[in-house]
Structures are given as structure tokens and as C-alpha cells.
Amino acid sequence: MGFYRTLLACYGPQEWWPGETAFEVMVGAVLTQNTNWNNVERAIANLREGDLLTASALDGISHEALAGRIKPAGYFNIKARRLKNLVRWFCEAYGGQIEQLAEVPQDRLREELLSVNGIGKETADSILLYALGKPTFVVDAYTYRILVRHGCLGAESSYEEVQEYCQSVLPEDRELYNECHALIVRVGKEHCKPRPRCNGCPLEGFEHWVEEG
């Protein structure tokens, strides 16, 4: 809780997730897999330009056309397939209606999301929290890296262990989870690179940093 307050005082509210609709947030969650958000924004702009930010539109478009639109986000063939999988499930099981999705109990919905090929734990939790407002903490590379380097968790910690740690030190509150994850990404981008360099250190150049594994 202390780190959350410190980050909030330092950076202020981050106002996440950027996206006009819940469906757009779902699409963004897939597109941002291992990808800079700037590139995702270009891809989303391309989709918006083609009026493709609806479940029915994406369900109807060809793989090639979709891949072409999302090219700036990288991994476009894989992501086109993953978006198709997600949308197909969404349409088949819930008629492409966000309201119907939102009624499903959180645990069951997470299981269903994880059963879609291309939707992993982080993507599923991002959709649950940011698109549907469910109180689940999103763990990403920054969350893991920051908590391990601060000694809060061991390097071998699993996704669930990191998630449980965060949820145990924070009150269960979707808005707080939302803000906290956004702040972690913010501070991580600026101060927690995968391979820290020690400017001026005589050992600079040697791999003397702690590997998280």
C-alpha cells in the first residue's frame, strides 16, 4: 500500500485504460502483448478508420484484411488469429454483447477467457479489470520485475504468486487495482528496464546485475 501511495503522489492518476469502449479495450489487450502502446494506437486507429472496432465487424473480416490493419502493432499474423479467436468466442457465447459478458461471475469468465487460444493470464486479467471492471490485479513484466528487485518476492514467483501478493497488500478495489497497475507501468518504463546499467560503475559492461530468471 505504501508503494502505491508513493507512486500516486509522484505521478498522479494515470487514467487507464485508454479506450473509448469496452470492446476497444479487449482489442487493445491483445494488440499490446509484448508491444509498445504507441504501436498499438496506430493499429487501433487503422481499425477505427475501417469501422472495425465492433465484434461483428471483426468477426466478418478476413484474416488478411485484419492482419493488414494491425500491422503497426507487430506480430500481426498471430494477433489477427488471436483477435479472431477472442471475437469468435465472444459472439458465439455472448452474442457479442458486453452487457452479457459483464454478468458472468469473475472466476468463470477468467477460465473461459484463458480457454481462448491467444488469451493468457495477463490479457485475461486486463480484459476483466479494464474492460469489465472486475477486481483482479493485472500482473505484467514490470510488476514482476519491480517487486522482485525490491525483495518483495523471489525470482521464481509465478504469475499467481505475484498477483496474490499484490491483492494481499492492497484493499480489494477495482479502481485501486486499475490505478496501481497503471502507476507500476509508468514507473517501470522510466526506472525498471530488464537489463539495468550502472553508469560510471567500474563493473559496467559485466553482467553483474541480478537475473530475475
Partner DNA sequence: GACCAGGCACATC
Partner DNA sequence: GATGTGCATGGT
Residues in touch with DNA (CB under 7 A): 16-18, 28-29, 32-39, 42, 71-72, 74-79, 116-124, 126, 130, 140-142, 185, 188-189, 193-195, 213
Whole-angstrom CA distances from 88 to 79, 128, 171 are 14, 18, 35
Rounded to a whole number of angstroms, the minimum distance from the CB of residue 195 to DNA is 3
Contacts of 204 (CB under 8 A, 6+ apart): 197, 198
CA distance 192 to 180: 16
In whole angstroms, the minimum distance from the beta carbon of 187 to DNA comes to: 11
Q: How far is the CB of 32 from DNA (least distance, A)?
A: 4
Closer Cβ to DNA, 122 or 179, answer by number:
122
* ∠ CA 139-145-147, rounded to 5°: 80
Residues near 50 by beta carbon (within 8 Å), at least 6 away in sequence: 57, 69
- Closer to DNA by Cβ: residue 16 or 94: 16
CB of 200 to DNA, least distance (A): 18
Give least dist CB 54 to DNA, A: 20
Distance CA 194, CA 40 (A): 21
CB of 16 to DNA, least distance (A): 6
The residue among 173 and 191 lying less far from DNA, judged by its C-beta, is: 191
Name which of 56 and 113 has its Cβ closer to DNA. 113
Instruction: Pick between residue 17 and residue 95 the one whose CB is nearest to DNA.
Output: 17
**Using an 8 Å Cβ cutoff, are 155 and 129 in contact?**
no
CB count, 10 Å around CB of 133?
Answer: 12
Q: Which residues pair with 132 in a beta bridge?
A: none
56 vs 115 by CB, closer to DNA: 115
Strand ranges in 98-182 using DSSP code E only, listed in sequence order: none
Name the H helices within 12-95.
Answer: 22-31, 37-49, 55-60, 63-69, 76-94
